[in-house]
Amino acid sequence: MAENRILLRLAVPDDALIVARLHTQSWQAAYCDILPTTYLLEKVPAEHASHWKNYMARPAKARGLVMLAEREGTPVGFASAENVDDSPHGILLDCLHVLADYQGCGAGKLMIGAVRAWTRERNQRLMHLYVLEDNVRAIVFYERNGWRFAGTKSSYIDATPVIDRRYIIDA
């Protein structure tokens, strides 16, 4: 029987389009009832491709952590984290995305553990993230994994007003 475990690896610049694809597919699934369909289908793919090409082209020391979760050699998710200067909330877990078909297989939990270790390596003791208030599935996941609610802020994604919920966790 083939083993179906998740393996994590650091993303390299050549992975930029893989990360962008994962990011886009995750948004299209998770935000289909939150953001306009035309935005998700027409603008998000190009925005994510441009962002990740530029981000991954930076020298490694100028980037934060970007890792891929793979199952049987297939990328199924990714996480990115970075140190935010003078943040009272510590390291920012900027992205944590697992494709819908692979949610529940442990990839998200593994990536959180890896980001926590990376945070401690940087002598930080706290992490934070933002999740859209309407993304109930993600909120349940984070709260089940020990994240604590720490406030809200209003923002926009493209032209759509959203409420971001901040969560924190000890590294």
Which residues does 97 contact at the CB level (< 8 Å), separation at least 6?
22, 23, 26, 27, 30, 77, 78, 79
Q: Break the chain into its structural domains and give their ranges.
A: 6-170
* pLDDT value of position 74: 96
The pTM score is: 0.94
Sign of CA dihedral 159, 94, 111, 148: negative
Q: How much is the pLDDT for 84?
A: 86
Q: Report how far residue 103's alpha carbon sits from residue 8's, in angstroms, rounded to the nearest whole number.
A: 15
Phi, psi of 21 (to 5 degrees): -65, -45
Q: What is the largest CA-CA distance in the chain?
A: 49
The kind and range of the H/E element at 20 are helix 16-30
Integer Rg of the chain from CA: 16
Please choose, from the candidates 39, 45, 116, 106, the residue with its C-alpha nearest in 3D space to the C-alpha of residue 81.
116
Sequence-ordered alpha helix ranges (H) in 58-135: 107-121
Contact (CB, 8 A) for 134 and 105: no
- pLDDT number for residue 2: 45
Overall size of the chain counted in residues = 171
Segment 41-88, tens digit of pLDDT:
999 999 999 999 999 999 988 899 999 999 999 999 999 999 988 889
High-pLDDT (> 90) share of the chain, %:
94
Q: At what angle do helices 44-57 and 16-30 cross, to 10 degrees?
A: 140
Q: What is the pLDDT of residue 3?
A: 52
Enumerate helices (H) and strands (E) in the chain, giving the number of each. 5, 7
At residue 116, what are phi and psi to the nearest 5 degrees?
-60, -45
Q: Contact at 8 Å (CB) between 101 and 30?
A: no
**How would CATH label the architecture of 6-170?**
3-Layer(aba) Sandwich (3.40)
d(CA 81, CA 91): 7
